[in-house]
Amino acid sequence: MKKNYLFTVSIIVAILILSAVSIFVGAFDVSLSGILSGDYKQLIILLNSRLPRVFAALCVGSGMSVAGLIMQNLCMNKFVSPTTGATISSAQLGIVISMLMLPGASLATRSTFSFIFSILGTWLFVWFIQKIQIKDVVMVPLIGIMFNSVIGGLVSYIAYENDLTQILSNLLVGDFSLILAGRYEIVFLILPLLIISFIYSNYFNIVGMGENFSNNLGVNYKFIMFLGLSITAIITASVVVTVGTISYIGLIIPNIVSMYKGDKIRKSLLDVALFGAMFVLLCDLIGRIVIRPFELPIELISGIIGSVIFIVMLFARLNHGRRLNKKGVSHAKKIISPK
Amino acid sequence: MQKKLSLLNKLQLLSLIAICFVFIYQFIFVDWNFFEYAMYIRTPKLIAIIICSFCIGYASMIFQSIINNRIVTPSLLGMNSLYILIHTSLVFFVGLDNPLVLNKNLTFMIDVLLMAILTIVIYGFLFKKTRYNILYILLSGTVLGTLFSSISNTMIRVLDPNEYDTLLTELVAGFDHVNTDLIMISILLIVLVFVIFFRDLKILDVLSLGRTQTINLGVDYDKSILKLLLCVSFLITIATALVGPISFLGLIAANLTREIFKTYKHVYLMLGSFLVGLIVLLGGQILIEHIFGFSTQISALVNLFGGAYFLYLILKNKGV
Amino acid sequence: MEVKNLNKFYGSKQVVENVSFELPKNKVISFIGPNGAGKSTVLNIMTRLISSDSGQVLLENKDLKKWNSKELAKKIAILTQTNHITAKLTVAELVAFGRFPYSGSNLNKEDRKHINMAIEYMELQDFKNRFIDELSGGQRQRVFIAMVLAQDTEYIFLDEPTNNLDIYHSSNMMKLVRRLCDDLNKTVTLVLHEINFASAYSDYIGAFKNGKLYKFDTVHEVMTKDNLKSLYNVNFDITDFNGKPISIYY
């Protein structure tokens, strides 16, 4: 118990340090003394660019991680996430279609389209994987990636045909450099969603055990499933609308945390959120430091780190499965594979 | 009706269609006043497309037999992203204006060599480690693909943060900027590959019986797999260097061919896969250039339909 | 064929421990033993499907590893239980693959003779042009045996050939094994789970336990109450049926 507490506290400390560094790193010098002495220029930069950037990173990191956590529980599969489900690409599709149908659409309109599409896309994906009785756990992410490729192909097609390629590259490669006060506040929508997730966390756990199990405990399976997937989709969409696509965070963070904390969502949700926020802050910092004064988009950094961790996870699972099979126990498989 | 056609008939029919498409592509809407100019523009591209479909068709078929699965193709496992990564790293480490990089043929040779080594190391390891478990190979392959392209993207941005787009088109070929300088050396390399690996290609039929039976029938399995993998690596390098990555072409070509021919004989399968790939590419290109009017890239369309086809195959077979 | 001091490890676990024996010619030899005793592993090593960590397998006094792989394929043939084939093949085409070690893909007159003989021997004439994925499990098994026959080897190895077959097909399979040995002078080695099949149809039995060769002898020597009890940790009764020891356990 005490050890768990320590984990949480050390992450919070790390987040505070990283946020401070993040505020003072950039093309324009901002210093503590400058701000305190009331330097107008420095204050403007701080309020319009640096602080929004830190807030956005915190929201995006915690949101994407929790979205992944919920999705993994509801689908009973550790390899599912907005990236390896159809959620991210559906959110992109929503944005592209809103721009196609209503040129010059406001951020709010775009977000609404994105929400609707990502909810529908996620539902379609979950329906598909439940429909083809899947034999192996890793089949699900594979199908998810293919879904992404199909929807992604559609997105690029629409973008190319309608001269939206500039928007396309912003959409596909997540980047914090465009975050400015007044243009990113949609990500704060993530905060109430995190709170709702926390309140319903026990329900998500129960629904993750299966339809019969939930009915037995008097939990409305369909409603909770709908709620959980919708929360995931809205979080993802609000990230895509403001920063663009960020892959793998929802996939790896919950897995890393669950190694320490186990799979009880109520116990791990806070840590997942904090750890995700820290990870995104860190990736963003790396991206800003490597080729100063230029920036690397966060999507590249998280793509590299994330895919490496994902492959490591995959091989760990392979060895793990083999060991279990040798013992004649396929218990783990029963737990994580959908029925 | 279809059933009565012999394998040879089917091949002839496909060739006929392919040749028709070649002519349509070459001469459709040609402005006869500028005939020579049009040919000058179209011919190299046509040759590049033919070479590309040849390489992808053959490579996909060979690869599918190596791992004994119909849904996996080398491009799905990120092999073309690996080539792009190698090429980008080369430029990244020696510099853009290095004489080595300016000589396109020389760079290509080095790429081919590095690609061969890395293919063997990475995919050989992947096969061994997963013990030919298709699902794991496929999933880690696709993720490796993202990893490779993230790294090469990063390198291009670091190389020149301002001119990212220009540099990208320069380093990675595409259908709107085919790498015509490499056509000669590609043809040479293909001939060389077939001379060297001719004997190994003959065991492909046996390979479709699975590892045990292949060994039982007197084939040195590990060595042959290695050689065939090398062969695949060369072909994919050529295709990607010429026209850039098209992930799902191999999947479409190989599976349609298997549907059409319904045989295990690789002589037919490989040729068929080449022709089907060519028909798909040329057909798509004719549609895009003359009907949609150029703005869409064919790779986007191929990925759209290829991904859908993949999902259909999974749904149909209830698994990989 | 002779096996000398075979050892095989999976990680730190030793699955084959110091196994040595000589395979008698023109006999049927069955390997029996509980699950994980190493019998299949030994069979796989003897047919170069997996390599041993130490020890040798000698064929005509020459180490298996030193044989040319094509030549070896003319001497020994192996059929495992998993013969999942994705390729679209007809029966005749699959059987023809048995001639691959001899002529590659270009069949000559001699090859065709062997292929036809194998098909006739396995009574597959009526199926000749059917695709193998349209056949039943028992029929498919016979097609594979026909392929192995076309391969025309001295030694035939079968890994659990009766697995997934019902009683009728299993006993037919065992009768066929007997005929391969008696009519065609093959040396047939097989891994079996049903000890009474092993007893009724083989000449020799190799009994494995915990990776070691517990006993390698004639059927009557191995099939005793005491031997079986210490092999399987179950009480056995042995009765005599047509001169063969048959075990009863419950």
Q: How many CA atoms lie within 13 A of A83 on its CB side?
A: 28
Count of H-run helices and E-run strands, chain A: 16, 0
pLDDT tens digits along C132-163? 888 888 888 889 999 999 999 999 999 988 88
Write out the two tokens for A233.
Answer: 């989709």
**Which one-letter DSSP state was computed for residue A25?**
-
Nearest chain C residue to B215, by CA: C49
Bridge partners for C6 per DSSP: C19
Round to the nearest angstrom and report the end-to-end CA distance of chain A.
34
pLDDT band at A332 (very low <50, low <70, confident <90, very high): very low
Residues of A in contact with B318 (CB under 8 A): 132-133
pTM to 2 decimal places: 0.84
3-state secondary structure of C17: strand
Q: Which residues contact A314 (CB under 8 A, 6 or more apart)?
A: A79, A138, B136, B139, B140, B143
Helix (H, G, I), strand (E, B) or coil at C208: strand
**Is the pLDDT confidence value at C16 over 80?**
yes
DSSP structure class, residue C135: S
Residue A335: pLDDT above 50? no
- Of B100-104, C118-122, C125-129, the range with the lowest mean pLDDT is B100-104
Chains that touch C (3 or more CB pairs under 8 A): B
**What is residue B132's DSSP assignment?**
T
- Cβ partners under 8 Å of residue A68, min gap 6: A80, A81, A82, A232, A249, A250, A251, A253, A254
Report the pLDDT value the prediction gives residue A233, as an integer from 0 to 100. Answer: 95
Q: Is A69 exposed, middle or buried (0-12, 13-18, 19+ CB in 10 A)?
A: buried
* Chain B residues interacting with chain C (CB cutoff of 8 angstroms): 68-70, 202, 205-206, 208-213, 215-220, 258, 262-264
CA atoms of A288 and A299, how far apart (whole Å): 12
Residues of chain B in contact with residue C79, where contact means CB-CB under 8 angstroms, are 216
Residues of A in contact with B141 (CB under 8 A): none
The whole-angstrom separation of Cα C9 and Cα C13 is 5
pLDDT of the residue at A321: 60
Strands C236-241 and C244-249: antiparallel
pLDDT in tens, B40-57: 888 888 999 999 999 999
**Yes or no, beta carbons of C88 and B264 under 8 Å apart:** yes
SS3 (DSSP) at B124: helix
With H, G, I as helix, E, B as strand and everything else as coil, classify residue A135.
Answer: coil
Question: Are B307 and A156 in contact (CB < 8 Å)?
Answer: no
Chain B residue closest to A318 (CA)? B130
What's the pLDDT score for residue C189?
Answer: 96
pLDDT at B80 over 50: yes
Q: Judge: C86–B70 Cβ closer than 8 Å, yes or no.
A: yes
Query: Which residues does chain C have within 8 Å of residue B205's beta carbon, measured at their own beta carbons?
Result: 97, 105
Residue A326 is predicted with a pLDDT of 43
Taking contacts as CB-CB distances below 8 angstroms, the residues of chain B near C72 are 218
- At a CB cut-off of 8 Å and minimum separation 6, what does C122 contact? C142, C143, C145, C146, C149
Prior bond of A293 cis (ω within 30°)? yes
State how far the Cα of B175 lies from the Cα of B297, in Å rounded to an integer. 7
Please state, in angstroms and rounded to a whole number, the distance separating the CA atoms of residues A137 and A97.
Answer: 33
pLDDT at B2: 45
Residues B186-234: tens digit of each pLDDT: 999 999 999 999 888 889 999 888 888 899 999 998 889 889 999 999 9
State mean pLDDT over C177-200: 93
- Give the 3-state secondary structure of residue C58: strand
Buried b (16+ CB within 10 A) or exposed e, A241-272: bbbbbbbbbbbbbbbbbbeebebebeebbbbb
Tell me, what amino acid is at B230? Answer: L
Nearest CA in chain C to B223: C69
Up-side HSE of residue B269: CA atoms within 13 Å toward CB? Answer: 26
Residues of chain A found within 8 Å of residue B250, distances taken between Cβ atoms: none
Over range C195-221, report the average pLDDT: 93
Residue by residue, DSSP assigns A80-125 as --TTTSSHHHHHHHHHHHHHHHSTT--HHHHHHHHHHHHHHHHHHH
Pick the closest to residue B244 from B16, B37, B48, B39 (CA basis).
B48
pLDDT band at A337 (very low <50, low <70, confident <90, very high): very low
Neighbours of chain A (3+ CB pairs under 8 A): B
Query: Of A70-79, B81-90, B124-133, B183-192, which range is least confident?
Result: B124-133
Of residues A104, A37, A280, the one with CA closest to residue A175: A280
Chain A residue with Cα closest to B315: A132
A310 touches chain B (CB under 8 A): yes
User: For residue A68, what are the CA distances in angstroms to A166, A252, A284, C73?
Assistant: 28, 8, 20, 53
| Residue burial A307-336, b: 16+ Cβ < 10 Å; e: rest | bbbbbebbeebbeebeeeeeeeeeebeeeb
Q: Which of B133, B303, B314 sits opposite A143 (nearest CB)?
A: B314
Chain C residue numbers with beta carbons less than 8 Å from the beta carbon of B69 are: 86
CA B31 to CA A322: how far, in whole Å?
A: 65
Pick A308 or A317 by higher pLDDT.
Answer: A308
pLDDT of A139 higher than 90: no
What number of helices (H) and strands (E) belong to chain C? Answer: 10, 12
How many CA within 13 A on the CB side of residue B230?
18
Whose CA is closest to A298, among A61, A63, A93? A61
Q: What's the pLDDT score for residue A328?
A: 36
Counting beta carbons within 10 angstroms of the beta carbon of residue C17, is it exposed (0 to 12), middle (13 to 18) or buried (19 or more)? middle
The DSSP 8-state label assigned to residue A72 in this structure reads: H
Strands C76-79 and C62-63: unpaired
- Check residue A158 and give its pLDDT: 86
Distance in angstroms (rounded) separating the CA atoms of residues A151 and A144? 11
Phi/psi at C161 (5° precision): -70, -20
What integer is the mean pLDDT of B250-265?
A: 91
- Residue C13 bridge partners (DSSP): C10
Structure-token pair, residue C154 = 């001295």
pLDDT at A176: 87
- Which one of A134, A157, A311 has the shortest CB-CB distance to B143? A311
User: Which residues in chain A are contacts of B135 at CB distance < 8 A?
Assistant: 136, 138-139, 142
Strand partners, C21: C3
- Residue C172 tokens, joined: 């037919």
- Residue C215, by phi and psi: left (phi above 0), alpha (psi -120 to 50) or beta? beta
The torsion of the CA quartet C206, C207, C209, C214, rounded to 10 degrees, works out to -80
- Taking the CA of residue C83 and the nearest CA in chain B, the distance in Å comes to 8
Nearest to C10 by CA among C53, C56, C65, C46: C53
Q: Do C97 and B258 make contact, defined as CB atoms within 8 angstroms?
A: no
Helices (H), chain B: 7-27, 35-66, 79-94, 99-102, 104-130, 134-159, 164-171, 183-201, 204-207, 211-216, 221-243, 249-261, 266-286, 298-317
How far is the alpha carbon of C160 from chain B, nearest alpha carbon, in Å? 14
B107-116, B296-305, C134-143: least confidently modelled range:
B296-305
CA distance A9 to chain B (A): 32
Q: CA–CA separation, B255 vs A119, rounded Å?
A: 33
Do the chains contact at B144 and A307, CB–CB below 8 Å? yes
Q: What ipTM does the predicted assembly reach?
A: 0.83
What is the model's pLDDT at position A339?
30
Is residue A338 predicted with pLDDT exceeding 60?
A: no
How many whole angstroms separate alpha carbon A257 and alpha carbon A249?
12
Contact assessment for residue C101 and residue C73, using Cβ atoms and an 8 Å cutoff: yes
Q: How far is C183 from chain B (nearest CA, A)?
A: 23
* Strand C54-59 with C62-63, pairing: antiparallel
Measured distance CA(B146)–CA(C123) in Å, rounded:
53
Query: A315–B140: do the CB atoms touch at under 8 Å?
Result: yes
Residues 6+ apart with CB under 8 A from A169: none
Cβ separation of B68 and C86 shorter than 8 Å? yes
C-alpha angle A33-A38-A40 in degrees, rounded to nearest 5: 115
What is the average per-residue pLDDT within C78-93?
Answer: 80
Mean pLDDT of the residues in chain B: 88
C93: nearest CA in chain B? B264
The tokens 């390198």 sit on which residue?
A: B155
* Residue of B130, B156, B157, B176 to mutate, interface with A, max A Cβ within 10 Å: B157
A135: pLDDT confidence band, cut at 50, 70 and 90?
low
Distance of alpha carbon B65 from alpha carbon B23, whole angstroms: 33
Among the listed residues C248, C219, C223, C244, the one whose alpha carbon sits nearest the alpha carbon of residue C236: C248
What is the reported pLDDT for B294? 63
Range name among A54-68, A193-207, A239-253, C77-91 with the lowest pLDDT average = C77-91
Q: Would you state the structure tokens that stand for residue A310, as one six-digit string?
A: 């994902």
Is residue A166 less than 8 Å (CB to CB) from chain B?
Answer: no
Taking contacts as CB-CB distances below 8 angstroms, the residues of chain B near C84 are 210
Output the pLDDT for position A172: 82
Structure tokens at A50: 């640096």
Interface touch B154/A300, C-beta < 8 Å: yes
Alpha-carbon distance of C159 to C78, in angstroms, equals 8
